[in-house]
Amino acid sequence: MCGIVGFIGEAKAAPILLEGLSKLEYRGYDSAGIAVRDESGKINVVKAKGRLKVLEDKTDSGNAVNGTCGIGHTRWATHGEPSEVNAHPHYSEGHSVVVVHNGIIENYLELKEKLVKSGYSFESQTDTEVVTKLIDYYYKKTGEPLTAIARTMLRVRGSYALGVMFSEQPDKLYAVRKDSPLIVGKSEKGYLIASDVPAILSHTRKVYYIDNLEIVEITRENVHFYNIDREEIEKEAVEIKWDAEAAEKGGYEHFMMKEIHEQPEAVRNTIGAYVKDGNIDFGKGVFDCEQAKKLERIYIVACGSAYHVAAVAKYVIEDITTVCVETDLASEFRYRNPKLSKNSMVVIISQSGETADSLAALRLAKEKGVKTLAIVNVVGSSIAREADSVIYTLAGPEIAVATTKAYSTQLIISYLLAMYIANARGEMEKQTFDKMLSEMALLPKRIEDILHDKERIQWFASKFANASNVFFIGRGIDYAISLEGSLKMKEISYIHSEAYAAGELKHGTISLIEDGVLVIGVMTQSELYDKMLSNMIEVKSRGAYLMGITNVGNYSIEDTANFTVYVPRTDEHFVTSLAIVPLQLMGYYISVARGLDVDKPRNLAKSVTVE
C-alpha cells in the first residue's frame, strides 16, 4: 500500500509530486506529505492528515514550495494512526536524511531500541522513522550514502520501497526496494521515481523496473543502478504502452463506473491477444501442450476477487478436463505447508502483481520445485517477473479499489487455460472447442448489452441503499459468482453481505433470513436451476425480498423473484462474465446512493503489498 513519488530535474518539483500522488491515491489516502529541497539547500517537509486535497490546499497546489528535487508520499496506515506526525516523509535531526516508504519493516521495534541506545529519539509510531534514523546512523558512520543505504538494507527485515534524500547530497535522489514495487522514469524535464506507472505516465513512457535489493542513484542528468554490494549494474528502459487517457476518469463520475464500461474492450483485447486463427496461443515457452498433457493437478492461489476467479476456474477446468484443481487463498496457502504433487502447477492470479501474500505463495511454490504460472495485469510487476511464465490480462490500468475489468479479463484467461488444457490432452472435440471460442468472441457485445440496461439496476439498487444485510446465493459456478457479487457489495457500500452455497443455507444461515432481507439468487446453470428455485422459495417463505439473476428465457422465475435481471445466453462455462456485471452495478449504485467514496472505500487500498 502507500504511494511514493520522487522528482529531480529542471522543473518545480512540488506540483509534479502532487500530480503524481493524485494518480497513486488509490494506494492509500489517510495522509500525505512532500519534502523538497530549496535553492538554499534546505529540505522543507510539508505533511497533512486526510486526503491529498488537504496537502494541495496547504501548499497552493505545490506552488508555495520551491525547489527542483523532492519526494512525496500518500499513506495507508500500518504502524500508527493516520496523523500528521505519522505521515511521511520522515526525517532525522536537521533533515539530514529524509525518507518516504512503502511496505512494512518487521524488526523495527528491535532496531528502534538499538537506535535509542545510540541517542536517537522518535516522535512517530512508524517503522519508517526507524529506517530513516538507521540510514542516518550509517551515514554518520560512513559519510557515504550508498553504503549507508546498503547497510540499512542488510539490517532491516520486511518489505520496502524507499525514496531517500540526504541534506549533504544536494543533487541526488536515492531509491531502493525489496518486495514493494518501484520504478524510475526518464522524462524531458528530469527523472522520476514512483510506486506505479500512472504516477509518471503524463511525463514519460520510458521506465526502468527496479528489482529486489537494488539501489538507484539519480542525479539531474543520470541514473545509476547498483546491487546491494554497491556494484553498478546495467538496466534497460521499457516502453509503457498504456494510454495516459486510460488512467483518467474520461467523463465518468468514478473510475469504477468507467472501468465497468471498459470491460467489453478489456475482454475483447484479452481474447484477441491469445486467440489466433481459431487456436489458443499464450506465446512461446509460456505453457505448452507437453506441459498440459503431463498435468495432474493445478493449484490456483490468489486473494480477494482474484481468488473468486480461481473459484470459477476450478468449476470450468474440472468440468472440461480430467485435471484436478485446488484453490487456495494465498494467505492460507503460504502457511499451511501445502503438499504439492509432482506434475502439478501453481497458478497465481493477481491484478497488481504485487500482492504480498500472492507473491509469497509464488515463492513457496518455486521453493517446492513446482512450475508456476502467473496471470497478471501489471506488466513488469514482481509476480510477473518471478513466475516461471506469465500470461498478461489486457485490462489496462485499473484505478478503482474495487476490481471490475481486471477480474473480467482474469476470467477470460481462466477459460482459455481450461480449453487449452482440454484441447492439448485430447479431452475436447474440435467442434466443441470451435463453438466455445465463437461463444467467447461474443462476450464483449453481450456485456455491452447488459450495460445498456443499467438504469433498471440503478432504480432497484436505490431501494436498498439502507439495507443492513444482503445475501447472495448460488450453486456451482453461480456460487463462485455470488462470492464476487457479495465482495463488490460490502467493500464499496459497507453493507454486510454474505455469499452462500444455496444448498448450505439450511445448515444454519437461513436463521438470519427475516422480513425484507434482500437475497440475490444467481441462477444461470440449467442443471441446477430447479434446485435454486426451491432454495429461493425457501427464503421467500421466511420473508426474504428476492432478486434473481438468470438467463434470458428462464421466465418461470417471475413467479418467485420480486425483481429479475436477465443475462444473454452463452456457453454456461462463461456465464460469470455476464452475470457479474449486474452485481458490480448493484454494488456501485448502492455505494453512490449512500454517498460513499466509491473509488476509495474506507480502510482499503488498491494494492495490498503487506500481509
Residues found near ligand AGP in the complex (CB under 6 A):
303-306, 350-352, 355, 358, 401-403, 487, 491, 607-608
User: Which residue number, 309 or 437, has a Cβ lying nearer to ligand AGP?
Assistant: 309
User: Which residue number, 65 or 359, has a Cβ lying nearer to ligand AGP?
Assistant: 359
User: Which segments within 133-247 are labelled E, that is strand?
Assistant: 158-166, 173-178, 183-186, 190-194, 206-209, 214-218, 223-226, 232-233, 238-239
- Minimum distance from CB of 305 to ligand AGP (Å)? 3
- Minimum distance from CB of 584 to ligand AGP (Å)? 10
What is the C-alpha to C-alpha distance for residues 171 and 416, in angstroms, rounded to an integer?
A: 51
Q: What are the Cα distances from residue 200, in Å, to 17, 263, 283?
A: 10, 24, 29
User: Which residue number, 76 or 433, has a Cβ lying nearer to ligand AGP?
Assistant: 76
User: Which residue number, 187 or 305, has a Cβ lying nearer to ligand AGP?
Assistant: 305
- Minimum distance from CB of 376 to ligand AGP (Å)? 8
Q: Which residue is nearest to ligand AGP (CB)?
A: 304
User: Which residue number, 176 or 487, has a Cβ lying nearer to ligand AGP?
Assistant: 487
- Minimum distance from CB of 198 to ligand AGP (Å)? 14
C-alpha cell at 72: 512525496
Strand partners, 523: 550
> What contacts 404, CB < 8 A, 6 or more positions away?
256, 259, 260, 263, 398, 584
User: Is the separation of the CB atoms in 557 and 439 below 8 Å?
Assistant: no
User: Is the separation of the CB atoms in 464 and 590 below 8 Å?
Assistant: yes
Closest CA to 551 of 587, 582, 586, 591: 582
Closest CA to 77 of 66, 68, 88: 88
145-155 and 127-142 helices, crossing angle to 10°: 130
- Minimum distance from CB of 485 to ligand AGP (Å)? 11
User: Which residue number, 403 or 493, has a Cβ lying nearer to ligand AGP?
Assistant: 403
User: Is the separation of the CB atoms in 31 and 92 below 8 Å?
Assistant: no
User: Which segments within 148-287 are labelled E, that is strand?
Assistant: 158-166, 173-178, 183-186, 190-194, 206-209, 214-218, 223-226, 232-233, 238-239, 275-276, 279-280
- Minimum distance from CB of 444 to ligand AGP (Å)? 21
User: Is the separation of the CB atoms in 519 and 546 below 8 Å?
Assistant: yes
In the three-class reduction of DSSP (H, G, I as helix; E, B as strand; rest coil), residue 373 is classed as strand
User: Which residue number, 148 or 489, has a Cβ lying nearer to ligand AGP?
Assistant: 489
Determine whether 93 is exposed, middle or buried from the number of CB atoms within 10 Å of its CB (0-12, 13-18, 19+): exposed
- Minimum distance from CB of 608 to ligand AGP (Å)? 5
Task: List, by residue number, the catalytic residues.
Answer: 2, 606
User: Which residue number, 36 or 266, has a Cβ lying nearer to ligand AGP?
Assistant: 266
- Minimum distance from CB of 183 to ligand AGP (Å)? 16
One-letter amino acid at 131 equals: V
Closest CA to 606 of 370, 336, 306, 331: 306
